[in-house]
Structure 1
Amino acid sequence: MYLLNRICILAFVTLLCSTAIAQEKKKITLEDVFKSNTFSAKSVYGINWMNDGQFYSSLNRSAGAPSVVKINVATGKQEEVLIDGQKIGINFSSYTFNAEESKALIVSDIERIYRRSSKGINHVVDLKTSEKQLIADGEKIMYATLSPDNDKVAYVKDNNLFVVELASNSITQITKDGKWNEIINGAADWVYEEEFSMSKAFDWSPDGKKIAFIRFDETDVPEFNMQTWGELYPKDYKFKYPKAGEKNAEVSIHVYDLDSKKTITVDTGTEKDIYLPRIYWTANSNTLAFLRMNRLQNQLDLFYANTETGKSDLILQEKSETYVDLDYNDNLFFLKDNKGFIRTSEQDGYKHIYQHDNSGKMIRQITSGNWEVTNLVGVDEKGKKIYFISTEASPLERNLYVINMDGKGKKLLTPAKGTHSVNMSKDFKYFIGYHSDANTPSKVTLHQVSGKEMQILEDNQELKDNLTNIAMSKKEFFTFETVDGSSLNAYMIKPVDFDESNKYPVLMYVYGGPGSQNVTNSWGGARDFWHHHLAAEGYIVVCVDNRGTGARGRDFKHSTYANLGKIEVEDQIAGAKHLGTLPFVDKGRIGIWGWSYGGYMSSLALMIGNDVFKSAIAVAPVTTWRYYDTIYTERYLQTPQLNAAGYDDNSPITHVNKLKGNLLLIHGTGDDNVHFQNAVDLVDALVKADKQFDSFYYPNRNHGISGGNTSWHLYNMMTEFIKDKL
């Protein structure tokens, strides 16, 4: 009896001590996350490997004015300052070297346009003398690019393509038909930029004597109109936005010869309702490769084009009953001396590496297994090795591997658990690694290609030290089975003072779109720390990657084809029901929130899962896929003309009568991506159904709803809604 009492007393004292320690630590506040950026991780930016593999350059912003410094790999020390922003009097944001590394192109006064497009003032700087040359008379231009032969710069201005000779500063206008909302030369239209992850649409030939470019004729594409507010009379901003089932821009490929000053048109076939999402120069300046996809994106063709005649030949074709994945990491590498190419494909059910000869015939499948290659880092032709990032260790992780080109000798180079990305040197002797896990901020290190660490470039020790004084729970990963028996990956953040005998409310966070992934063993950003703030306030935060998300093979990802929203929402509801069975969860207080596709999911889940979810926040949601763009929507749903039910059956607008819980709808009126029209039509349907809800709009804010005080205001409002409604 005495021993039992002593054990009870010790246990009680231990509990008191742990509670006291938790109380001594500081809770994460909204001010920490959105005002003071207390938890922002540092990194190493603007790293470029130099021709001599013993050096790399880095953009340094720590000294006030930006500078580009040259670092010795062996010593880790700075050898010299290549570009001194203070000395040349330019506050530049980015830089690129010419092939000889004698000059650099720097960009300043950058003005963002859409997600990936921008324009700015460009200078060419002589690295020896620091003399600078202003390009295009100081006008803001787009995608300025030095030629491989070092003496020219190509750029886009006012929808036309130009070249400037650096020696004479003379400008040649290659195209003259460019016109706003009609013709674009050398730059992508809105939908290609957003959905094919491209903005620049031209490229120099290897010898610097030709420029290949894509021309977009968007004359007949329907025009979208957004009003911008802030003046006595609101202004109209009109741009071409092809919604599902509507007309796309007509695209064509052209090659300009700088010597003859003639432009040829590449033969891309007789069908005009196509996509031309990529152009690539092969190692031969007379051969241009390009990709062509049909409107439904279930056929991908690789062509070689003769740049003297424009004649093209089909090299490779891939078809699918759903859609063919266009690799946005551009995992297509052309071997020297016309020895073929290396590419990735999902054709065996998982994304893997394949080698083809120059005629397109497959030589071998280099990697295989129930895991995916996510990035083809580099192909060392001399050493006959391929470096790649994959999910072999876990769908939640990313690691660097090397494999021989014959498919043998695969080796793991980054064994630490978590998420790795790398920047490999041109001679394949070194790489700079970026590594984090769910509970450890990013560490940037220099490695020999064997994986051996040589130097720490950034370890975020200051942030790690700060975190020791913060009351913060670790992310816990778990799995559960959904309605069809599939195992789903998820994570949970518990309150710091978690007590399993208590009942906690739960907020689920969702994105859930095709190929996406939120449940990863990696360090998060401000949104993650907002979740940690909520956990400090007594909420459990959970995220579930439903069927249709990425890193788990083609069948898992394509399972939502032609019926977006249906099984994804089933999985989120199943996740909530699973949580409701846990002894420490209050199943009557489960909420869900998401942004963009996640806003679509959260609003639909609240309606269909009205017996499971109490509240939802939908930020910038798609409310009907009829309002979204052609490329993304038709890839997963076909066109509205072919699959009307796929568009309407799982639209939140269709299910407004089922709303029982608390809905907060948020949108920016200047959202060029998911238009404010989505929110307006959902509001109209809710009013007609006599449903009460909360809504808020942010004037002129785009899809990211940010800038100035906006993020603070947004997350403060969402926090109060959660506290009030959950």
Structure 2
Amino acid sequence: MRNLYLLGLLAVAAQSALAQAPATAAGSLAPLTVDKIMREPAQWVGTAPANIYWAEDGRRIYFSWNPTKDRRDSLYQVAPTGPAVPRKVSQREQRELPASTGAYDDAYTRKVYEREGDIYLLDLKTQKIRRVTNTTERESTPDFARQGKLVSYVRAQNLYTWNPATGETVQRTDFRKGSKPASPTPTDKAERYLRAQQLTLFEVVRLRDQDRQAQERQQKALARLQPKAIYLGLQTVANLQLSPDGRYVTYTLRQEPTAAKVALVPSYVTASGFTEDISSRTKVGAPQTAEELGIYDVARDTTFVLGYKELKGLDELPAYRKEYQLPAKAPLPADSAKAAASKAKKPTPELRRVQPFGPYWSADGQQAFLVMRTTDNKDRWIVGLDPATQKIKLLDRQHDDAWVNGPGIGYAAGSVGWLPDNRRVWFQSEETGYSHLYTVDVTTGQKKALTSGKFEIQSAQLSRDRKTWYLTANATHPGERHFYQLPLNGGALQQITTRPGAHEVAVSPDGRTLAVRYSYTNKPWELFVMANKPGAPMRQLTHSTTPEFEGYPWRDPEIITIKARDGADVYARLYRPANPVAQGPAVIFVHGAGYLQNAHKWWSQYSREYMFNNLLVEKGYTVLDIDYRGSAGYGRDVRTGIYRYMGGKDLSDHVDGAKLLAEKYGVSPQRIGIYGGSYGGFITLMAMFTQPEVFRAGAALRSVTDWAHYNHGYTDNILNEPYNDSLAYARSSPINYANGLKGALLMCHGMVDTNVHFQDIVRLSQRLIELKKENWELAVYPVEDHGFVEPSSWTDEYKRILKLFETNLRPVGDRGGAGQ
């Protein structure tokens, strides 16, 4: 889920071996409290290293870190060899460092990058930096052009190039706002007559007109040396790119909607003392930005807009629309039917809107391809492009009746590129139900799968020598992420990392060494280094966690599978007390985002919730954390399992989990609670409203209550537009089921939430009032956005959640410490 992430705290660093026994069994260890675990993370947990990258010469590893418990992270560096002594990089040193991002030439001998609005060129052999621009205007998106001979960049929506050999700067485009000025030559018949009369009668007028025409011819001759003036009207331009031979400039034309209404979020606690409105976003179904691919043919001094009508499937009606088609009318008599048929006109099929990405040019500059997607995200095409003829050639089509997405695919171009032979294009696809790596020959159309299996390739890139693939995948277990190598043309995956957990890898410039950000379930992220060899030992470079944090034996929950009612295996984390009480209480935690994974073997981004789950177990609760349908890491069928019905399989997975707790783990079916934030809050509401016999108490945090009020980018993929698929919205929105509330419900929401607006919970509250429901409460947080920041807010919220469970899930007489 792109926008609905519940923002957790930054991951923190590793600790030495941690026992699974509860803290109360440790004798001298003090029990956990909400006050303790919700403190400022940097002060008592530690701050993990993040944003890891190599120096261009490979001698240092840079990363963000905060071991000194400052207000914000700082840049650190550490050598990959020798003693692991990280050092803070001074502000003066940072100003002299090349940017961590940028573009490389094909030989990886130079890098071009932007810093503070200017462009710089770095020679990777000499490490010398050359400044390309020094202006008050911002230059951005630097790249190499003309096969490395030029540096290109964008200034004020126009493309420029700079020649390192001569120092010459050339403006390649001349995009202008507004419309082209009207021609001075009249077009109206009456006006043409009057002009001809004036030129005939008056010599002075005729001579001046001849002078004007001569001057215009001279200006046009000079203008041939300048780029064509292209008037944008109400459009804007982006993604400017010069073809390798310099003949074409391609660009994206964007037309912003004029009628889109943006919701305002009032902020009440402000420095000014006045209520201030925050402009947030539109709602699902609002008009969206339209995009087209423009081509400027420099040699012909003319422009084109690429057409897409020949795309296969572009005129196909989305499958769900068939449910809303009107029933056929009664058949007409034979003669009348013939007459009607003769008069009827064949309807013109409605073409879906397309969003282009690219083009991507081969290294030899001879060929290009585009990635094209329908704006409803049900189709994604990879097509060859001939800019001379403005023709496209289909190379691959990915269609999904739900929506196209997945690792390496995403909602834009995805991970794509050319192989070194300049003949094959590589990309990722969920063709088999799992995202894997493919190539397609642009000449023959032959497609080949380089990887396969019931696992996902979660990231892919070519090595600098373009002989090897570097991949991250969950091939060993859905809850583990390892680093792999693969020969260029496919073959056996070679696993490099071996520890259970997750590995985020940055490869050194020479390809010999790996900087690894690693964590395990109960061991927060730390920075390691290892040789780029299978099974090589990992050496730890950072130590981030505090002695206080390390002093508690954080649990390593068991990963189990739940057999869902439709036969699917659903993964979950299970936390169990050391000495569970028969018919004891249980709580199910619901992760946010929908498309996110949490039943895995690495440190959770829901670290506060992980610690709270430890607290619940310490108090005798069994806790279950489910990767319900819609979660990431399990392939296409799980990803799209919520299509057109959120609160369907995703909710029934939790009901099936509750049943398993009662049948296998001795939990009382009358003492099960549920909680979660964002999408987790939505599921909690659906559980409390539609499954009141299963869940006795629930805490819904920053919850979507009505999907018709959420954003377009996320919701349209899953439920389509509300005016086209009203059934999907009706059955997926908790506000429609509020009458079913029986158990105790706590709702918490930030008042300046610009993601799930506070209006959502206000509307639901009014609905509960009108339904005369009394067993609910709403806690509001005046200074919090979607992801809470202030420790005081976290503490207040989770004390209320704990009190809710202690009050409603424990037997009378066993409810002590509810607010601790």
- Structures share fold, TM-score greater than 0.5: yes
**CA displacement, residues 438-493 of structure 1 (integer Å, 9 cap, x when unaligned):** 12222432333323547635353x52855442143322222222222322211122
Per the alignment, do residues 125 and 387 of structure 1 end up closer, same or farther by CA in structure 2, a change over 3 Å counting?
Answer: closer
Q: Write out per-residue CA displacement over residues 535-582 of structure 1, whole angstroms, 9 at most, x where no aligned residue.
A: 344443321122332333323333332222212111111211221335
C-alpha distance 77-209 of structure 1, shift in aligned 2 (>3 A): farther
Q: Distance in 1 between matches of 2:806 and 2:259?
A: 45
Letter in 2 for 1:30: D
Query: Counterpart in 2 of 1:283?
Result: 362
Post-superposition CA distance 1:142-200 (Å, at most 9, x none): x654656698674587xx5676969799999964449xxx75543xxxxxxxxxxxxxx
The answer as to 2:378 corresponding to 1:294 is no
**Mean Cα displacement is larger for which, 447-456 or 416-425?**
447-456
Q: Is the contact between residue 85 and residue 92 of structure 1 (CA under 8 Å) also seen in structure 2? A: no
- Matched-pair contact (CA < 8 Å) for 1:221–1:240: no
CA 1:416/1:90 → structure 2, altered by over 3 Å: closer, same or farther?
A: closer
1:481 equivalent in structure 2:
563
SS at match of 2:558: strand
Q: Which position in structure 2 is the counterpart of 1:403?
A: 486
2:45 aligned residue: 39
Contact 1:618 1:664 survives alignment (8 Å)? yes
Cα 1:102/1:650, change in 2 over 3 Å: closer
Task: Give the conservation status (yes or no) of the 8 Å contact 1:354–1:362.
Answer: no
Please say if residues 31 and 618 of structure 2, whose CA atoms lie closer than 8 Å, have aligned partners that are also in contact: no
Please tell me whether the aligned partners of residues 25 and 469 of structure 1 are also in contact (alpha carbons under 8 angstroms): no
Paired residue for 1:373, among 448, 457, 466?
A: 457
- Separation (CA, whole Å) in 2 of partners of 1:203 and 1:49: 28
**What is the aligned partner in structure 2 of residue 349 from structure 1?**
433
Q: Is the 8 A contact 2:362 2:368 kept in 1?
A: no
* Residue 722 of structure 2 corresponds to residue 681 of structure 1: no
Aligned CA distance change for structure 1 residues 725 and 156 (closer, same or farther; 3 Å): farther
Kept in 2: contact 1:371–1:552 (CA 8 A): yes
Q: Does 1:248 align with 2:288?
A: yes
Deviation at 1:618, TM superposition (A): 1.8
Deviations along 1:385-432, one digit per CA (max 9) or x if unpaired, are 323222221111112222334432332222222222222345543332
Q: Deviations over 1:364-390 (max 9, x none)?
A: 22222222222214357753x323222
Q: After the TM superposition, which of the residue ranges 665-674 and 303-312 deviates more from structure 2?
A: 303-312
Q: Which structure 2 residues correspond to residues 428-507 of structure 1 after superposition, within 5 A?
A: 428-451=511-534, 453=536, 456-460=539-543, 463=545, 466-495=548-577, 498-501=578-581, 504-507=584-587
The answer (yes or no) to whether the contact 1:345–1:351 under 8 Å persists in 2 is yes
CA distance in 2, matches of 1:254, 1:707: 47
User: 1:723 offset after TM fit, Å?
Assistant: 4.2
For 1:174 and 1:668, locate their aligned partners in 2 and report how far apart those are by CA, in whole Å: 46
Q: Distance in 2 between matches of 1:522 and 1:90?
A: 36
Q: 1:47 to 1:660 in 2, by over 3 A?
A: same
Whether the 8 Å CA contact 1:124–1:135 is kept in 2: the answer is no
Greater Cα shift, 627-636 or 253-262: 253-262
Q: Is the 8 A contact 2:263 2:282 kept in 1?
A: no
> Paired residue for 1:214?
252
Given that 2:697 and 2:743 are in contact with CA atoms closer than 8 Å, whether structure 1 keeps it comes out as: yes
649 and 517 in structure 1: CA distance in 2 versus 1, 3 angstrom threshold = same
Spell out the pairing of 1:248-647 with structure 2 (5 A cutoff): 248-254=288-294, 265-269=305-309, 273-276=352-355, 278-284=357-363, 285=365, 287-307=367-387, 310-325=390-405, 327-328=409-410, 330-359=414-443, 361-378=445-462, 382-383=466-467, 385-425=468-508, 428-451=511-534, 453=536, 456-460=539-543, 463=545, 466-495=548-577, 498-501=578-581, 504-511=584-591, 515-524=595-604, 525-582=607-664, 584-647=666-729
Separation (CA, whole Å) in 1 of partners of 2:55 and 2:98: 20
1:58 corresponding residue in structure 2: 62
- The residue number in structure 2 matching 1:86 is 92
* Separation (CA, whole Å) in 1 of partners of 2:474 and 2:455: 6
Please say if residues 288 and 305 of structure 1, whose CA atoms lie closer than 8 Å, have aligned partners that are also in contact: yes
1:27 has 2:32 as partner: yes
Paired with 1:538 and 1:452, the residues of 2 have a C-alpha distance of 40
- Counterparts of 1:719 and 1:261 in 2: how far apart (Å)? 70
What residue ranges of structure 2 are gaps of 5+ in the alignment? 1-20, 179-233, 315-350, 810-820
Structure 1 residues 367-376 or 232-241, which shifts more? Answer: 232-241
**AA aligned opposite 1:86:** R
Query: Which residue is equivalent to 2:817?
Result: none
Is the CA contact (8 Å cut-off) linking 2:674 and 2:698 kept in structure 1? yes
Contact 2:735-2:764 within 8 A present in 1 as well: yes
The 5 Å alignment of 1:193-204 reads none
Instruction: Assess, with a 3 A threshold, how the Cα gap between structure 1 residues 218 and 700 changes in structure 2: closer, same or farther.
Output: farther
- How many angstroms apart in 1 are the aligned matches of 2:387 and 2:787? 41
CA distance in 2, matches of 1:650, 1:531: 28
For residues 483 and 397 of structure 1, what CA distance do their matches in structure 2 show? Answer: 26
Pick which of 123-132 and 339-348 moved more.
123-132
CA distance in 2, matches of 1:17, 1:309: 70
In structure 1, how many angstroms separate the alpha carbons of the residues matched to 2:298 and 2:792? 49
Q: Is the 8 A contact 2:354 2:372 kept in 1?
A: yes
Q: Aligned to 2:263, what secondary structure does the other structure show?
A: strand
Q: Which residue of 2 aligns with 1:7?
A: none
Does the 8 A contact of 1:343 with 1:353 survive in 2?
yes
Flag the structure with higher strand content. 1
> Displacement, 1:46?
3.9
Q: Number of residues paired by the alignment? A: 672
- Relative to structure 1, the CA distance from residue 61 to residue 378 in structure 2 (aligned partners, 3 Å threshold; closer, same or farther) is same
Separation of aligned partners in 1, 2:37 and 2:436 = 42
Q: Specify every segment of 5 or more residues in structure 1 that has no aligned partner in the other structure, as ranges.
A: 1-15, 109-120, 187-200
State whether residues 253 and 268 of structure 1, in contact with CA within 8 Å, keep that contact through their aligned partners in structure 2. no
Q: Pick the structure with greater CA Rg.
A: 2
Q: Which structure has more RCO (C-alpha within 8 Å, separation ≥ 6)?
A: 2
Partners of 2:366 and 2:722 in 1: how far apart?
41
Q: What do the CA deviations read for 1:250-280 (whole angstroms, capped 9, x no partner)? A: 1122357999998754444498752426335
Residue 695 (structure 1) aligns with = 778
Kept after mapping to 2: 8 A contact 1:28/1:536: no
Partner in structure 2 of residue 193 of structure 1? none
- Structure 2 distance, partners of 1:286, 1:375, is 28
Partner Cα distance (1:568, 1:17) in 2: 31
Q: Secondary structure at the match of 1:531?
A: helix
In the alignment, residue 733 of structure 2 is paired with which amino acid?
S
What's the counterpart of residue 653 of structure 1?
A: 735
- State the TM-score, normalizing by the size of structure 1: 0.79
Cα distance between partner residues in 2 of 1:708 and 1:206: 53
Measure, in 2, the Cα distance between the counterparts of 1:435 and 1:17.
25
Contact 2:593 2:678 in 1 (8 A): no
The question of whether the paired residues in 1 share the 8 Å contact of 2:112 and 2:142 is answered with: no
In the alignment, the residues of structure 2 paired with residue 17 and residue 334 of structure 1 have an alpha-carbon distance, to the nearest angstrom, of 53
Shift of 1:357: 0.8
Give distance in 1, aligned partners of 2:55 and 2:241. 21
